[in-house]
Amino acid sequence: MRAVDPETEQDGAVESVRGLFVVLEGGEGVGKTTQWNRLASTLRAVGHDVMAVREPGGTSAGDAIRALLLDPTSSLMPTTEALLFAASRAQLVHEVVEPALARGAVVLVDRFLLSTYAYQGAGRGLPLDALRSVNALATGDRAPDLTLLLNVPLEMAMHRMQARGPVDRMEQEDAPFHERVRDAFEAALSPAWQEAHPEIGPVVSVPAHGDIDAVTVRCLEALVQRWPARFAAAATALLHSR
């Protein structure tokens, strides 16, 4: 898979800075979108060029597809659903992700290919090989540099989701569906699974319970652990602001 070479460090200094492709993932109600927004704001506040987009969406075509996919009244076959997600992703990678990476930005995406494996693969029962092939065409084999997988107990996530009010088409699925999705996300944390699925890139777990600021710190710590020279200042600034 074609992943971005993010940075080369020499004697503690950044020799060259490249674009970074970071994805936030997780089931319904884990606080993923909240942390996606907060992480983008925190990084921008210390001078990072950040492109934050969501899936499906992020382009005119993608936003139209998003409305159809999440409309609770939409009746879509699982295959149709998967192809629509891939179509939105193809437009997003071409219009937004690749240009932003080329200029050296940090690209933060709310969901990417791992969600397809969890929702359309495990949730809907579509074959993973077919999903992999369709999405390889859609993404041009662009793999994330890192995926932050937010997680809380399923019961807590369902309570959060219901407390938000009206649910969308994916949220309204039954408990067994959400259990299959959760299990698929958990499986992706295995090193063996990641080695077998290089198109997903590295995946790390971020506990998403408790104070919202604390979860943002955990997300930043995951970035610092991987790219210390690039993100240490953002983590320090957030800690000092608390």
- Asked whether the beta carbons of 229 and 12 are under 8 A apart, the reply is yes
Q: Where are the alpha helices (DSSP H) in the chain?
A: 32-45, 60-70, 78-92, 98-102, 113-115, 128-139, 154-163, 175-187, 191-196, 212-226, 228-241
CATH of residue 29's domain is: 3.40.50.300
The first and second tokens of residue 47, run together, are: 């001078």
Q: How many domains does the chain have?
A: 1
* Alpha-carbon span 118 to 134, nearest angstrom: 15
Give the whole-angstrom CA distance, residue 222 versus residue 204: 8
Q: Note the pLDDT of residue 16.
A: 54
Q: Where are the alpha helices (DSSP H) in 14-72?
A: 32-45, 60-70
For residue 239, the model assigns a pLDDT of 73
Per-residue pLDDT of the chain (242 residues; tens, 9 = 90+): 544 444 543 334 443 579 999 999 999 889 899 999 999 999 999 999 999 999 999 999 999 999 999 999 999 999 999 999 999 999 999 999 999 999 999 999 999 999 999 999 999 999 999 999 999 999 999 999 999 999 988 888 777 877 777 888 888 889 899 999 999 999 999 999 999 999 999 999 999 998 999 999 999 999 999 999 999 888 787 777 76
- Separation of alpha carbons 33 and 8, rounded Å: 30
The two three-digit tokens of residue 82, written as one number: 């998967």
Range of the domain at 213: 2-241
Contact between 61 and 88 under an 8 Å Cβ cutoff? The reply is yes
